Homo-oligomer: A and B are copies of this chain.
């Protein structure tokens, strides 16, 4: 954890940023870092890596190969991650090898387990969906009582893009879903009758915190489909969302970009859906609509640089290109209001995020 009371020198250009994880977020982080004159070094076990292709170095090793992690740590000047499912043991191996890890271990630990995350938010008096852990057949009935029906049974770990989730309408659904999980620790979450979903992207360094405007998010089959800025929310909802995000970041002594997803109820009441201790899909619009993208903000924060402005100069609509949709890249490119970003992936499975396109309009607010 960075000690906020200790001013340390900003990391000079030419230094190497180590990134745990090799997906598209690491790719865009790497592109932002090299633009600022940094070198990047990707660490990931995958055979193909969208990030590895644009980085100066790439270590291909397992996250639990602590010898490789130590070697990687010693080869770089600061370590960050682009994925919250990095094992905490890997994070520990970084710090044990004398590395600086931003965001820190605690953010990782809290965010990679839905139960820890919900309990943590509760400890800060931040509202979430009603929840109850499910670790046994006996707990199932009680969980339905607490969460109410309909509810969603989710695995505690390794859930993203709607994976490991089942909608529960009655006790039969619950039994079937729980059986299918085969003993994997789970959490039952009550359904929140939300009007819309928004997310706040926050950047925090040891010296300052700044917020991008909240984005309004549409999901399809559990995967982010579209983010629109500005969100159709009142100023007070916007302010409260920002306040909650800051509260979390401060409590975690957070360094880097943090994303907080919210459900907005009809009354304007906010409940946090989840937090992501990293740059986030719902913040990709910042590449085009802001002077400083979320990726640059993250790099500046972890490098101890002053943060730039998070001000938005345009309205934006970011749409993910999922699976085969990316084959229609040419249709987007023909529109001069569109900016295309592709991640250099091959379509290997349906639902894979292949790229995104951002449409800008003059600012309306």
The interface on chain A, measured as residues whose beta carbon lies within 8 A of the other chain's beta carbons, has a size of 42
Asked if A339 and B56 sit within 8 Å, CB to CB, the answer is no
Asked if A14 and B344 sit within 8 Å, CB to CB, the answer is yes
Taking CB atoms, residues of chain B closer than 8 Å to A53 are 34, 39, 56
**A10-B327 Cα distance, complex, nearest whole Å:** 13
Asked if A346 and B14 sit within 8 Å, CB to CB, the answer is yes
A35 CB-CB contact with B under 8 Å = yes
**A172-B27 Cα distance, complex, nearest whole Å:** 58
Most buried by B among A10, A34, A329: A34
Nearest B residue to A311, CB-CB:
B336
Taking CB atoms, residues of chain B closer than 8 Å to A337 are 291
A309 CB-CB contact with B under 8 Å = yes
**A313-B290 Cα distance, complex, nearest whole Å:** 13
Q: Which of B37, B339, B355 contacts A344 (CB 8 A)?
A: B37
**A333-B334 Cα distance, complex, nearest whole Å:** 35
Asked if A37 and B333 sit within 8 Å, CB to CB, the answer is no
Q: How would residues 317 to 335 of chain A score, 1 for a CB under 8 Å from any chain B CB and 0 otherwise? A: 0000000001001100110
In chain A between 47 and 105, which residues have their CB closer than 8 angstroms to a CB of chain B? 53-56
A152 CB-CB contact with B under 8 Å = no
In chain A between 7 and 31, which residues have their CB closer than 8 angstroms to a CB of chain B? 10, 13-14, 27, 31
Q: How would residues 336 to 354 of chain A score, 1 for a CB under 8 Å from any chain B CB and 0 otherwise? A: 1111111110100000000
**A300-B334 Cα distance, complex, nearest whole Å:** 11
Asked if B308 and A10 sit within 8 Å, CB to CB, the answer is no
Beyond A35-B341, A37-B342, is A13–B329 a contact (Cβ under 8 Å)?
Answer: yes
Kindly provide the distance from the CB of A260 to the nearest chain B CB, expressed in whole angstroms. Answer: 23
A360 CB-CB contact with B under 8 Å = yes
Nearest B residue to A305, CB-CB:
B333
**A121-B308 Cα distance, complex, nearest whole Å:** 45
A4 CB-CB contact with B under 8 Å = no
Kindly provide the distance from the CB of A325 to the nearest chain B CB, expressed in whole angstroms. Answer: 13
A222 CB-CB contact with B under 8 Å = no
Asked if B355 and A37 sit within 8 Å, CB to CB, the answer is yes
**A53-B37 Cα distance, complex, nearest whole Å:** 11
Q: How would residues 274 to 316 of chain A score, 1 for a CB under 8 Å from any chain B CB and 0 otherwise? A: 0000000000000010011000000010000110110101000
In chain A between 173 and 213, which residues have their CB closer than 8 angstroms to a CB of chain B? none
**A336-B341 Cα distance, complex, nearest whole Å:** 25
Nearest B residue to A291, CB-CB:
B339
A36 CB-CB contact with B under 8 Å = yes
Taking CB atoms, residues of chain B closer than 8 Å to A340 are 36-37
**A339-B37 Cα distance, complex, nearest whole Å:** 12
Nearest B residue to A10, CB-CB:
B330
Beyond A333-B308, A346-B14, is A291–B360 a contact (Cβ under 8 Å)?
Answer: yes
Q: Which residues of A contact B (CB under 8 A)?
A: 10, 13-14, 27, 31, 34-39, 53-56, 288, 291-292, 300, 305-306, 308-309, 311, 313, 326, 329-330, 333-334, 336-344, 346, 355, 360
Apart from A37-B344, A54-B55, A305-B330, what are 4 other A-B pairs with CB-CB below 8 Å? A13-B326, A37-B342, A53-B56, A311-B336
A-B residue pairs, 3 tightest by C-beta: A37-B342, A309-B336, A53-B56
CB pairs A–B below 8 angstroms (17 shown): A10-B330, A13-B326, A13-B329, A27-B34, A31-B34, A34-B54, A34-B344, A35-B341, A35-B342, A37-B340, A39-B344, A53-B56, A54-B55, A291-B336, A291-B337, A291-B339, A292-B336
